[in-house]
């Protein structure tokens, strides 16, 4: 976990690790380890994009410091160096190698910025491990069952992959990354009523386990004001969510008017 639980802190955590192996030509598995994600190109590419998202989130967070003009101007002067490091990756997918060039100045600047920006409450490590365990159990159950149509089975496995991805996204972006995965899952449930109905009717135990896993993931992602845009989309389908056994997420979301 990063020392500072905010966008700048997650950038700092990753770039500090990468700085130790700067300008080296690493294989996929080594690169993924430095990023803290699964050793496949899909996860790595998402993690690299998450670095840019963290950079953009940091810019937005720093805007909140405008009233302190000296600090605000000092932070902004360091943005070009940080952006250059964030966009320095060279990925050679055919050969399975990657390299980058992170500057010392960008890491130093991020340490000062991360220390000044507001921080979110970090998820417990045990909670993330519990999600990982639940995902593995779900995948095994889905792969072993023969009661679903091929399309529904593939849809369920995609849901499981999205939940698993949420752990990588948390490693790269914190709660912001996991909240995006929550929004994707809620959207999938809203848009695929046929698959939802088939799963709930043919294997209610698996469906309960899936929805309880998503429900737990929602809690870990710290649902609140920052997930309001995603919940606004889900509001139209709350009766559907309740009818398929999934609790209304707004019931656990404080301060949403």
Cα angle value 17/18/20 (rounded, 5°): 75
Q: Is 92 exposed, middle or buried (0-12, 13-18, 19+ CB in 10 A)?
A: exposed
pLDDT at 200 over 70: yes
pLDDT at 242: 54
State residue 241's pLDDT score: 53
Tens of pLDDT, residues 84-105: 999 999 999 899 899 999 999 9
User: How far is CA 186 from each of CA 14, 47, 155, 161, 230, rounded to the nearest angstrom?
Assistant: 29, 22, 14, 14, 8
Q: Where are the domains of the chain?
A: 7-116, 125-252
Give the mean pLDDT of the chain.
83
pLDDT at 225: 46
Mean pLDDT value of segment 47-63: 92
pLDDT in tens, 234-257: 444 445 555 545 544 434 433 333
Q: Which residues contact 11 (CB under 8 A, 6 or more apart)?
A: 51, 54, 55, 58, 82, 86, 110, 114
Strands 26-27 and 90-92: unpaired
For residue 234, count other CB atoms closer than 10 A to its CB: 21
């Amino acid at each position: 976990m990063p020392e500072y639980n905010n966008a700048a802190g997650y950038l700092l955590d990753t770039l500090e690790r990468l700085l130790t192996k700067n300008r080296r030509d690493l294989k996929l598995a080594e690169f993924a380890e430095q990023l803290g994600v699964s050793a496949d190109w899909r996860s790595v590419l998402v993690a690299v994009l998450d670095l840019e998202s963290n950079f953009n989130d940091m810019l937005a967070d720093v805007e909140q410091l405008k009233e302190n003009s000296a600090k605000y101007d000092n932070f902004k002067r360091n943005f070009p160096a940080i952006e250059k490091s964030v966009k320095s990756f060279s990925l050679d997918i055919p050969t399975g190698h990657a390299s980058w060039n992170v500057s010392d100045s960008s890491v130093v600047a991020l340490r000062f910025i991360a220390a000044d920006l507001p921080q979110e409450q970090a998820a417990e490590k045990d909670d993330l491990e519990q999600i990982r365990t639940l995902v593995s159990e779900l995948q095994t159950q889905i792969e072993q069952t023969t009661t679903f149509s091929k399309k529904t089975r593939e849809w369920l496995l995609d849901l499981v992959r999205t939940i698993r991805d949420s752990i990588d996204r948390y490693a790269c972006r914190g709660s912001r990354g996991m909240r995006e995965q929550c929004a994707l899952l809620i959207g999938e449930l809203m848009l695929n009523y046929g698959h939802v109905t088939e799963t709930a009717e043919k294997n209610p135990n698996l469906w309960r386990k899936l929805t309880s896993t998503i429900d737990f993931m929602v809690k870990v992602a710290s649902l609140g004001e920052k997930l309001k845009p995603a919940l606004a989309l889900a509001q139209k389908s709350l009766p559907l969510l309740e009818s398929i056994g999934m609790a209304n997420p707004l019931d656990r979301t404080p301060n949403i008017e």
